[in-house]
Amino acid sequence: MSPAELREEFTKRSADAVFAFQLRNPVHNGHALLMTDTRRRLLEMGYKNPVLLLHPLGGYTKADDVPLSWRMKQHEKVLEDGVLDPETTVVSIFPSPMHYAGPTEVQWHAKARINAGANFYIVGRDPAGMSHPVEKRDLYDADHGKKVLSMAPGLERLNILPFKVAAYDKTQGKMAFFDPTRPQDFLFISGTKMRTLARNKENPPDGFMCPGGWKVLVEYYDSVAPADSGKVPEAVPA
């Protein structure tokens, strides 16, 4: 939907707050926890009907990312399985590519959401991070996005919501916000690990992703797997 169409949709839904979440990956329950917790916080602030704009990137992303068409199928299952509430969620493709262009791109992402009617924007760690051309490090601090958006002109109408870190809580058997006082209880499942499990048709821990959404991922990797493929070995960090 265009920005004008999104604004019209939010008016139809009588939204008194719109919070945007951008992603280029399938939605797991950690993402969903962050989004549902944001809505809870907005209700506590006095808003009556906060609406989520789930705004996946529609332009090019990294070569090993799940293609947009399959991500949209996965997002549909997340709504069908009730992980996110269809009544308070608008899913729309954000047609921008991902440039990994650092602070400039972070401002573009935020300002584009203002045009679409959002007044709250969830910002993660290292958004649009840029790698050093020679050394094995990032050019910017992991919190650079949050810092830039707090200072950038033209963003006065947008409230920046820092991304809380979620991980799999082994004691509860579900995704939860990371508790630094008991790090041994948490399991961080990286995108690489998730892709490896899906390629090998193995299941993640119960509570990591809704079953319908995980089935879509497995089907995608099955559709692109060579006919003679065996198990994919997990990537070893350099």
pLDDT at 238: 40
Q: Are strands 186-187 and 166-169 parallel, antiparallel or unpaired?
A: antiparallel
Q: What is the DSSP letter of 97?
A: -
* In a domain? residue 45: yes
Residue type, 215: K
pLDDT at 212: 97
* In a domain? residue 77: yes
Using 70 as the pLDDT threshold, list the residues of the chain that sit under it.
Answer: 125-126, 128, 227-238
* In a domain? residue 236: no
How many angstroms separate the CA atoms of 169 and 179, rounded?
9
* In a domain? residue 238: no
Task: Tell me which residue has tokens 């069908």.
Answer: 80
* In a domain? residue 183: yes
* In a domain? residue 233: no
How many angstroms separate the CA atoms of 117 and 234, rounded?
41
10 Å Cβ neighbour count for 14? 9
* In a domain? residue 24: yes
The two tokens of residue 145 are 């996005």
174-205, pLDDT tens digit by residue? 999 999 999 999 999 988 899 899 999 999 99
pLDDT at 228: 45
Q: Are 92 and 55 in contact (CB under 8 A)?
A: yes
The two tokens of residue 26 are 């399938």
pLDDT at 103: 81
pLDDT at 237: 45
Domain extent at residue 70: 3-224
What's the total number of domains in the chain?
A: 1
